[in-house]
Structure 1
Amino acid sequence: MPTYKIFTVDAFAAAPFGGNQAAVVAVPPEHPLSDETMQALAGEMNVSETAFVEPLEGGGFQAAERFGLRWFTPTVEVPLCGHATLAAAQVLRGELGNASGALRFATLSGELVVRAGADGRLEMTLPADPPAAAAAAAATDDVRALVAAATGRRHTDATEVAVSPALRYMVVHDPGLGAADVAALEPGITAPVVEAGRRLGVRAVIVTARGTDCDFVSRFFAPWCGIDEDPVTGSAHAVLAPFWAARLGRRSFAARQCSRRGGDLRVALADDGATVVVGGHARVMIRGTIDL
């Protein structure tokens, strides 16, 4: 019966009990896991994402530079997950002794690279996914339903709604909502609203606003992926960085995801707009093994 090392990590958190929890499972090449087992284990862990990391070259976890990486929520596999990527890098560096200058992960979203940054931060490069704005006049009943459910406010001509083409994240920006309002949101995403989102083909709704002590804030709601609210979402900032760059005239940001746990991120959009670097701290909280 193979034994696997398993960890829980608070990503985008400099101190315990903050940021976003992820589980990380180290999968040795000689003992691969089936898709069904990975999904069942993610359900057992019951955190927003469980990452499965496997060396793709000689040297094992300690010496390899290239790894396979997959992410599962408790109910589905997802194409991109920033916080669980950060968590996997923290486990490789801090727990499994990997000293590579750059960790390269082969994923469903292409190769992702994580490097050590300043002050103990990890910095990962994600593909940018600029959202395409929808004209207010083109708002459908389904769009209006999602806006009202996520923000508690009626969709108006001033409401900005945009959907990213790859990740299918819907960004909602209501100029009448400030940072404190976003932090206080209590969304009412009912079953009919979930069905409206399915008809629109969205995977999540992001509500965002200008920040007060940072450049912008956000909340991330994804019942379509089995997550009512994700505490801190690295992949969301692959969408939010180009969104806010167009409005603030900048490419580097201090961002905060203001969920109950909350987390702070440093975000930079490349000059060519193709990639986004997302940086933050991570803390390993639990270390263990599992027999499968």
Structure 2
Amino acid sequence: MKTLKLYQIDAFAEKLFTGNPAAVCVLDSWLDEDLMQKIAMENNLAETAFVVHSGDQYQIRWFTPELEVDLCGHATLASAYVLFQYYNHESDLIRFQSERSGHLTVRREASGELTLDFPVDQLKEVPINEEITIALGAEPLSMYKGKTDYVLIYRNQEEITSMQPNFFLLDKIDARGIIVTAPGNEVDFVSRFFAPSCGIPEDPVTGSAHTSLTPYWAKSLGKENMLAKQLSQRGGTLKCALRGDRVLITGKAKPYLRGEIML
């Protein structure tokens, strides 16, 4: 019987049972893709990250219960936490390489927080999609399309909080996810993220969505450093900074479990 170590980490979490839980498997070499997908399905979390040490960096891939995705922020932050805490990574910087998203880094701050360094997402304004509007039950001020997601801009935090999407209708939209966002009452901006087509009706905290949100709100608010909250049931806080064509996303992580997968 072969066993694999499995870690579950709450990412962008101030305390346990908040933020976004991600599973992490650190491998000696890549497993068959079908097996990684089955493990992610069995874990039934928004994402499971698989990591392989390669020279002075780590290769990384991310799977939802239904498919492999191009980029996942919270599972990358969780993977870095695992490497720092349980694999004795010596420096305060971890370099990841993704075939789908290129070069990514995570830095351990003196505060113990972790900072993701991700490529910025380029947004293009598009006509407001009636199908998405009907599915969300709320008309946005404007709408944008990024690499994989739609971003819909609303007037205030209350519109985001009260939204009750029709996930059956959202599942028919040709996109990884739908991001809804507005100015925050106590933070710079708030958001929610819906991705039923990936098997995730609502993601608790979505690091990758903030590669789209950060440049938009930096331009809209006229500031490069911002505080954001994702208004899911679990909730999560993210410090976001725009640095040219990169986005820095900082948050905390809390360990939930360590175990073994028996294959």
- 2: CA distance, partners of 1:181 / 1:94: 39
User: 1:9-20 counterparts in 2 under 5 A?
Assistant: 9-20=9-20
1:43 to 36, 41, 44: 41
Q: Which residue of 2 aligns with 1:60?
A: none
Higher helix proportion (structure 1 or 2): 1
- Are the equivalent residues in 1 in contact too, given 2:118–2:247 (CA < 8 A)? yes
Residue 190 (1) aligns with residue 192 (2): no
TM-score of the superposition, structure 2-length normalised?
0.96
Over the aligned positions, Cα root-mean-square deviation in angstroms equals: 1.3
- Structure 1 residue 148 displacement after superposition: 2.8
Question: Residue deviations 1:25-62, cap 9 Å, x none?
Answer: 11113xx31000000000000000000011112xxxxx
| 1:147–1:172 CA contact under 8 A, matched in 2 | no
> Which whole-Å deviations, capped at 9, do the CAs of 1:204-260 have from their partners, x for residues lacking one?
110101001100000000112111010000000000011111210111110000100
For 1:126, the aligned partner's letter is F
After the TM superposition, which parts of structure 1 deviate over 6 Å for at least 4 consecutive aligned residues?
none
Q: Residue 77 of structure 1 aligns with which residue?
A: 68
Match of 2:135 in 1: 149
Correspondence for 1:62: none
Q: Which residue in 2 is equivalent to 1:129?
A: 121
Counterpart residue number, 1:227 = 200
8 Å Cα contact 1:26-1:54 kept in structure 2: yes
Q: Which residue identity does 1:172 align to in structure 2?
A: L
> Structure 1 CA distance, aligned partners of 2:171 and 2:17?
30
CA distance in 1, matches of 2:48, 2:121: 23
For the structure 1 residues 291 and 189, does the alpha-carbon distance in structure 2 shift closer, same or farther, using more than 3 Å as the test? closer
Tell which deviates more after alignment, 5-14 or 111-120: 111-120
CA distance in 2, matches of 1:283, 1:237: 20
Size of the aligned set, in residue pairs, is: 262
Query: Aligned partners of 1:68 and 1:48: how far apart in 2?
Result: 20
Q: Is the 8 A contact 2:154 2:160 kept in 1?
A: no
CA contact (8 A) 1:20 1:231 kept: yes
Post-superposition offset of 1:284: 1.1
Query: Residues of 2 paired with 1:105 and 1:118: CA distance?
Result: 21
One-letter identity of the residue aligned with 2:25: V
Matched, 1:181 2:159: yes
Which whole-Å CA distance do the structure 2 matches of 1:96 and 1:154 have between them?
Answer: 48
Once the two structures are superposed, residues 141-181 of structure 1 have per-residue CA deviations (whole angstroms, 9 ceiling, x without a partner) of xx11202322x2246xxx210011x2x21011122xx2133
Q: Contact (CA 8 Å) 1:217, 1:256: kept in 2 or not?
A: yes
Separation of aligned partners in 2, 1:49 and 1:74: 7
SS of the equivalent of 1:146 reads helix
Matched, 1:217 2:185: no
Matches within 5 A, 1:189-208: 189-191=167-169, 193-195=170-172, 197-198=173-174, 202-208=175-181
CA contact (8 A) 2:8 2:24 kept: yes
Contact map agreement 1:117 1:279 (CA 8 A) in 2: no
Q: Does the 8 Å CA contact 1:71/1:78 hold for their aligned counterparts?
A: yes
SS of residue matched to 1:119: coil
Contact 2:143-2:152 at 8 Å conserved across structures: yes
The corresponding residue for 2:78 is 87
d(CA) in 2 for partners of 1:153, 1:276: 29
Q: TM-score, normalised by structure 1?
A: 0.86
Give unmatched runs, 5+ long, in structure 2.
none
What's the CA shift string for 1:165-200, capped at 9, x where partnerless? x2x21011122xx21331232111324x432x12xx
Give the number of the structure whose residues are more often strand, by fraction.
2
Cα offsets for 1:46-86 (capped at 9, x unmatched): 000000011112xxxxxxx4111100000000000000000
* Separation (CA, whole Å) in 2 of partners of 1:75 and 1:213: 35
Which of structures 1 and 2 has the bigger CA Rg?
Answer: 1
**CA–CA separation in structure 1 for the residues paired with 2:203 and 2:139:** 24
> Aligned residues: percent identity?
41
